[in-house]
Chains A and B, each alone.
Chain A
Amino acid sequence: MIAPLLHVTGLSKRFGGFVALNDVSLQVAPGERLGLIGPNGSGKSTLVNCMSGTLVNDRGRVQFDGRVLDGLPPHRRAYLGLARSFQLPRPFSSLSVRDNMRIPLLYTAAVRAGRQRAENEIRERTEELLRVVGLIDKADARPIDLTQVDMRKLELARAMAADPKLLIADEAMAGLSNAEVDDILGLLMRLNAQGISIILIEHIMKAVMAFSQRLVVLVSGNKIADGAPSEVIRNDHVVRAYLGQ
């Protein structure tokens, strides 16, 4: 078996007396598409935050690309190739769409490439990425003038600008129409085809099933299933967690 790109072992996180994550372990192989599902409050976002460094886990270890990430701030993890999009889009509201792209290009992408891009290279790369996500016509708009789906595209484009090895898409499709979901899903598939591993956190089962090669289920901070999507959704524990008994 090839060495995993992301290797999470025994991750635990408490908020006061509330156990948000309890001894969660999971692996992501290079180029893999992993779906992460679970009811609201099951700890999905906490897991994402611990992996990306926004939160500090109490116990356990996160390894990425052969390196232990514990203690590294989020920007250092981004430099190693771990990118994330936020559940609620968080654009830089005083910058145009174009200049929003400039931030990861000036920082993460520059560190990852080992050099600073020239101004015309930044423009080219920005336009290339905006074309991929279909935002090129709105390059000079302010984030406040964007629709929900465009805002999510910007969020993904910004994550892509960092040239990641692994992209964690935290509910990138929540609240979108069917056609828009397909739009974003196609985008993620194209990214994956370029060799980027993707963790998709999503409630829309149709999208998760179509996208994932493997499915991980979290319930109340515990991992209760991990395997092929078709098997996982037949799992008794999963059915019980989602439908009650």
Chain B
Amino acid sequence: MTSATAVENPGRKVQAQIGTPMFAALATGVAVLFYVALALIGNEYLYFSGYVVLQFVVMATAWNILGGYCGYVNFGSAAFFAMGAYSTVCIYSIGTEYARSGVGKILGAIPPPVLVPLLIAFAGIIAGLVGLGMGYLTLRLRGVFFSIATLALSVVLQTLVVNWDFVGGSRGAYVIRPNEFPLLPGGFIAYLFVLMLLLVVVALTLARGIERSRLGFGFTAIRDDELAAEAAGVPTLRLKLIATTVSGALMGMAGASFPYYIGYLQPNSAFGLEYAVNAIAMPMVGGTQSWVGPLVGALLLGSFQQWATVTISSVLNLLIVGLVLIFFVIVAPNGIVGLVREWRRKRVLRKAVRP
């Protein structure tokens, strides 16, 4: 088993040779411990703020698959997040508006705890397909031009949603979250938290698996030099489409349960600037070259924002994120992970010089 995975996923260096299934198991273990710790504290507010931080871990990890590994900066993360959220609103509305007819009746009859995971999967498919479509339309553009195209996609989708009455239009839509959830202490919000925790495990396992695989090396080649990558046999267009699809799908999944979390979804909040900005800032601050970077960046910036919202101001949040981002771009362009690696490398070199 271990040797088989080692062959399929050649490690980048001699790094700790933990196979992907083993990593998934470890990550799940850590997630369970994390949940148990919160449950023992027993403060419901922690689920509310924890949910947001975890959601940003997924967003940052998803952004990094395209932005960090392939070097294609996506400014339209909010569009994918919103697509996930609005696919949920759409299904939810079918369940409530057409409660008497066929499909609506079935949807309305599914209990929310079963429905939400299905909605997350559905959002993944929808956002993944849109990611694929966006890829086809925009990936022939490079650098800044690609980024501007993603920004445009975001505006187009928001305009579409604002003018689509069925999902609430500009007024917004209510999605009623049940209060209770019998299996977990903490109620339905704790359940949403656990689902998001699972999604984090999926996203991190995926990102790490990609990084250590043939696909990941192809992505790196694309980021470093696309022309040389093609010459070396990397099917660049296909790989970039894989990246936009996976990245988009994960972002959509991160947004799918958001209407249940927030209760009342407006286009302005779903397409909020904070998603686009955070999805870029968090990997940049953490480091874009490995799966650890977005995780660290999202945990740090996300927690900080949660703390700042209640202590300083909910409006100043993004300003602070912007300042931190500028600081890192100038001082540590490879993020926190890059700083740690550099420090380690220097220590090894120093040891080599003076044994």
A contacts, CB < 8 Å to B: 52-54, 73-75, 78-79, 83-84, 86, 90-95, 99, 102-104, 106-109, 111, 116, 118-119, 122, 158-159, 161-162
A54 touches which of B7, B11, B227 (Cβ 8 Å): B227
Docked pose: A73 CA to B214 CA in angstroms: 20
Q: Is B289 an interface residue (CB 8 A)?
A: yes
Docked pose: A108 CA to B230 CA in angstroms: 10
Question: Are B235 and A116 interface neighbours, CB within 8 A?
Answer: no
Shortest Cβ distance from B236 into A: residue: A75
- Cβ of A86 to closest chain B Cβ, rounded Å: 7
Question: Are A118 and B7 interface neighbours, CB within 8 A?
Answer: yes
| Given contact pairs A75-B232, A92-B228, A107-B235, a sample of 9 additional A-B residue pairs in the complex whose CB atoms are under 8 Å apart | A74-B227, A75-B231, A78-B233, A79-B233, A91-B228, A93-B224, A94-B224, A103-B234, A111-B233
Question: Are A94 and B231 interface neighbours, CB within 8 A?
Answer: no
Inter-chain contacts of A103 with B (CB < 8 A): 217-218, 221, 229, 232-234
- Cβ of B301 to closest chain A Cβ, rounded Å: 24
Given A90-B228, A94-B289, A106-B214: A75 in contact with B220 (beta carbons within 8 A)? no
B10 touches which of A54, A107, A122 (Cβ 8 Å): A122
- Cβ of A170 to closest chain B Cβ, rounded Å: 11
Question: Are B231 and A99 interface neighbours, CB within 8 A?
Answer: no
Q: Is B237 an interface residue (CB 8 A)?
A: yes
Question: Are B236 and A116 interface neighbours, CB within 8 A?
Answer: no
Question: Are A73 and B235 interface neighbours, CB within 8 A?
Answer: yes
Question: Are B235 and A94 interface neighbours, CB within 8 A?
Answer: no
Inter-chain contacts of B228 with A (CB < 8 A): 86, 90-92, 158
Shortest Cβ distance from B12 into A: residue: A99
Inter-chain contacts of B223 with A (CB < 8 A): 94
Docked pose: A221 CA to B49 CA in angstroms: 66
Inter-chain contacts of B10 with A (CB < 8 A): 102, 119, 122
Question: Are B233 and A52 interface neighbours, CB within 8 A?
Answer: no
Please provide the chain B residues from 4 to 21 with a CB less than 8 Å away from any CB of chain A in the complex.
Answer: 6-7, 10-12
Docked pose: A75 CA to B222 CA in angstroms: 12
B220 touches which of A94, A107, A109, A111 (Cβ 8 Å): A94
Docked pose: A158 CA to B233 CA in angstroms: 11
Q: Is B225 an interface residue (CB 8 A)?
A: yes
- Cβ of B16 to closest chain A Cβ, rounded Å: 15
Question: Are B214 and A158 interface neighbours, CB within 8 A?
Answer: no
Question: Are A90 and B218 interface neighbours, CB within 8 A?
Answer: no
Shortest Cβ distance from A120 into B: residue: B7
- Cβ of B153 to closest chain A Cβ, rounded Å: 25
Q: Which of A54, A91, A92 has the largest count of B CB atoms less than 10 A from its CB? A: A92
Inter-chain contacts of A95 with B (CB < 8 A): 217, 220-221, 224
Docked pose: A119 CA to B231 CA in angstroms: 22
Interchain residue pairs A-B with the least CB separation, the first 8 = A108-B233, A107-B233, A92-B224, A90-B228, A74-B230, A104-B232, A78-B233, A103-B232
Shortest Cβ distance from A161 into B: residue: B232
Given A92-B225, A99-B12: A75 in contact with B218 (beta carbons within 8 A)? no
Shortest Cβ distance from B226 into A: residue: A90
Question: Are A74 and B231 interface neighbours, CB within 8 A?
Answer: yes
Please provide the chain B residues from 229 to 258 with a CB less than 8 Å away from any CB of chain A in the complex.
Answer: 229-237
- Cβ of A100 to closest chain B Cβ, rounded Å: 9
Inter-chain contacts of A158 with B (CB < 8 A): 228, 232
- Cβ of A112 to closest chain B Cβ, rounded Å: 9
List, sorted by A's number, 21 A–B pairs whose CB atoms are closer than 8 Å.
A52-B231, A54-B227, A73-B237, A75-B231, A75-B236, A78-B230, A78-B232, A86-B227, A92-B220, A95-B221, A95-B224, A102-B217, A103-B234, A104-B233, A106-B214, A106-B217, A107-B232, A107-B234, A116-B214, A158-B232, A161-B232
Question: Are A54 and B232 interface neighbours, CB within 8 A?
Answer: no
Inter-chain contacts of B225 with A (CB < 8 A): 90-93
Docked pose: A10 CA to B232 CA in angstroms: 27
- Cβ of B337 to closest chain A Cβ, rounded Å: 13
Docked pose: A84 CA to B227 CA in angstroms: 11
Shortest Cβ distance from B228 into A: residue: A90
Given A90-B225, A92-B225, A118-B7: A78 in contact with B231 (beta carbons within 8 A)? yes
Shortest Cβ distance from B9 into A: residue: A119
Docked pose: A108 CA to B289 CA in angstroms: 24
Docked pose: A109 CA to B234 CA in angstroms: 11
Docked pose: A111 CA to B223 CA in angstroms: 22
Given A93-B224, A94-B289: A75 in contact with B230 (beta carbons within 8 A)? yes
Inter-chain contacts of B224 with A (CB < 8 A): 91-95
**What sequence of 0s and 1s flags, for each residue 196-226 of chain B, a beta carbon within 8 Å of any chain A beta carbon?**
0000000000000000001001101101110
Question: Are B233 and A54 interface neighbours, CB within 8 A?
Answer: no
Question: Are A119 and B6 interface neighbours, CB within 8 A?
Answer: yes
Inter-chain contacts of B289 with A (CB < 8 A): 94
Docked pose: A118 CA to B232 CA in angstroms: 19
Shortest Cβ distance from A162 into B: residue: B233
B218 touches which of A107, A116, A118 (Cβ 8 Å): A107
Question: Are A83 and B231 interface neighbours, CB within 8 A?
Answer: yes
Shortest Cβ distance from B235 into A: residue: A75
Question: Are A54 and B214 interface neighbours, CB within 8 A?
Answer: no
- Cβ of B165 to closest chain A Cβ, rounded Å: 45
Inter-chain contacts of B214 with A (CB < 8 A): 106-107, 116
Inter-chain contacts of A75 with B (CB < 8 A): 230-236
